[in-house]
Amino acid sequence: MNTDEIMGLALELAGLSELPADSQIYYPGERIRKILIGLDIGSAELQLAKSLGFDLAIAHHPQGGSASLNFAQVLRTHVRQMVQAGVPLKVAEEAIQERLFEARVGAHMSNYDHVPSIARLLELPFMNIHTPLDELGRRRLAGVAEKADPEMTVMGLVALLKEKLPEFRHAQTEIDIRVGQPQNRIGRTVVSHGAGTNGGYPVAKAYFDHDIDTVIYIHCASSDSKRLREEFAQSGKNLIVTGHIASDSLGINPFIKELEKRGMEVERFSGVIPG
């Protein structure tokens, strides 16, 4: 396989027809057989991959280039997800404005060529695949959450996620009930994932304000968590945070399985938890 075919496989698995703005082939390659894949890959990891004889390094998170510079574009996926859940379009648009601004400013400040330039110097094929694999992970999470009885408790849903998704059992972190009580009913539940990064306070609030009882994030900053807890702790609303590393692995592992079916030798590292 070559790097274009590998990226195409990820898109096919995720049901995407176009390459998302947060995914990129930084240095292309042919005749790929041995792959190193991790959540984050920097200059040191690229040198390690080269020295160990890997044909390709795949990072999950953007590592520079257009994938970092255009990252804000994928945040608009939150709008589609919110509208599908019943949030009015105007409210959804307003909820992501702060995240969009932060992403644009952060990209403008970044040294977007640092890691890609190392790959070029090493002549090591290198790419990152973010949204396609997050979409695979979102589907696995949603597939469990959507089948849960609305009368199930939050504690019950957490147990169900750990039962059905082995990455959560293998992780060193625990699924965290960040807002709400373990005995609360889950009611209407949404999985907010696969939109670049979590929507923080504004997106969760938009869901809570429009008849969603339980929001599942894979991570959420302490400041956003505190605001949500202060506002919604006594309301019966719930925020479940499943854990960044385990949740990203939910989407990476099915992709690895498909690569291995095609004869690739794939080594997990940098946070990829086996399923």
Q: For residue range 224-236, what is the model confidence (pLDDT) as tens digits?
A: 999 999 999 999 9
Confirm if 60 and 39 have CB atoms less than 8 A apart: yes
Q: What is the pLDDT of residue 46?
A: 98
Hey, is 132 helix, strand or coil? helix
Confidence at residue 206, expressed as pLDDT on a 0 to 100 scale: 98
Q: What is the mean pLDDT of the chain?
A: 98
**CB-CB contact of 75 with 104 (8 Å):** no
Global confidence as pTM: 0.97
Give pLDDT tens digits for 61-106. 999 999 999 999 999 999 999 999 999 999 999 999 999 999 999 9
8 Å CB contact between 242 and 161: yes
Is 132:10 a contact under the CB 8 Å cutoff? Answer: yes
Q: Where are the beta strands (DSSP E) in the chain?
A: 24-27, 34-38, 56-59, 126-128, 176-179, 189-191, 214-217, 238-241, 265-268
Give the sheet arrangement for strand 34-38, strand by strand: 24-27, 126-128, 56-59, 34-38, 265-268
State how far the Cα of 191 lies from the Cα of 193, in Å rounded to an integer. Answer: 6
Which residue(s) pair with 239 in the sheet?
179, 215
Q: Which helix (H) or strand (E) holds 214?
A: strand 214-217
pLDDT at 256: 98
261 pLDDT band, cuts 50/70/90, is: very high
> Which of 213, 218, 210, 201 shows the shortest CA–CA distance to 238?
213
Quote the CA–CA distance of 110 and 72 in Å, as a whole number: 14
Confidence of residue 187 (pLDDT cuts 50, 70, 90): very high
Reduce the DSSP state of residue 265 to 3 states and report it. strand
Rg (CA), the chain: 19
| Total Cβ atoms within 10 A of residue 260 | 12
> Could you give the CA distance from residue 69 to residue 109 in angstroms, rounded to a whole number?
10
pLDDT confidence tier of residue 182, bands split at 50, 70 and 90: very high
Which of 177, 144, 179, 147 lies closest to 163 in space, CA to CA? 144
Cα–Cα distance, 242 to 216 (Å, whole number) = 7
Average confidence (pLDDT) over 246-275: 98
Counting residues of the chain whose pLDDT is more than 70, the rounded percentage is 100
Q: Of 226, 209, 225, whose CA–CA distance to 217 is shortest? A: 225
Q: How confident is the model at residue 178 (pLDDT cuts 50, 70, 90)?
A: very high
Domains of the chain, earliest start first: 3-133+248-268 (3.40.1390.30), 136-244 (3.40.1390)
Q: What is the pLDDT of residue 168?
A: 98
Q: pLDDT-based confidence at 208, cuts 50/70/90?
A: very high
DSSP letter (8 states) at residue 178: E
Confidence at residue 31, expressed as pLDDT on a 0 to 100 scale:
98
Query: Which band of pLDDT confidence, cut at 50, 70 and 90, is reported for residue 16?
Result: very high
- Are the beta carbons of 103 and 60 closer than 8 angstroms? no
Over the stretch 37-65, which tens digit does the pLDDT of each residue have?
999 999 999 999 999 999 999 999 999 99
Which pLDDT band, with edges at 50, 70 and 90, does 151 fall under? Answer: very high
